[in-house]
Amino acid sequence: MPGRSYLIFGDIEGKLDVLRVECTKCARKGRYSVRRLIEKYGRKANMMKWKEQLNSDCPRRDAHGLHERCDFVMSRSAEGFIEK
């Protein structure tokens, strides 16, 4: 990730087959094929912007209390990669 402060899909290409995301506040979760994400958005697409789109329809996204807001995160399998 030299020169940038965000992940792109190319960063996980070949390291993960499936990207899992889940909300820590509710039961929303999903699994996405990394290959299909790259086909759709491209290798250089910003993963954080993509993640923001995922929770754009959540009624808790703009809740007044921070602890009540939607908190969509990449699951442990992706976090393990990100920390390396």
pTM of the model: 0.74
Residue 1 pLDDT greater than 70, yes or no: no
pLDDT of 82: 47
For the segment 31-44, the average pLDDT, to the nearest whole number, is: 96
Between CA 10 and CA 4 the distance in angstroms is 13
Q: Are 69 and 19 in contact (CB under 8 A)?
A: no
AA identity, residue 47:
M
At 44-83, the pLDDT tens digits run 999 989 988 887 887 777 788 878 877 778 765 544 454 4
Classified as helix, coil or strand, 35 is helix
Among 20, 25, 3, 16, which residue's Cα sits nearest to residue 84?
16
At 11-23, the pLDDT tens digits run 999 999 999 988 8
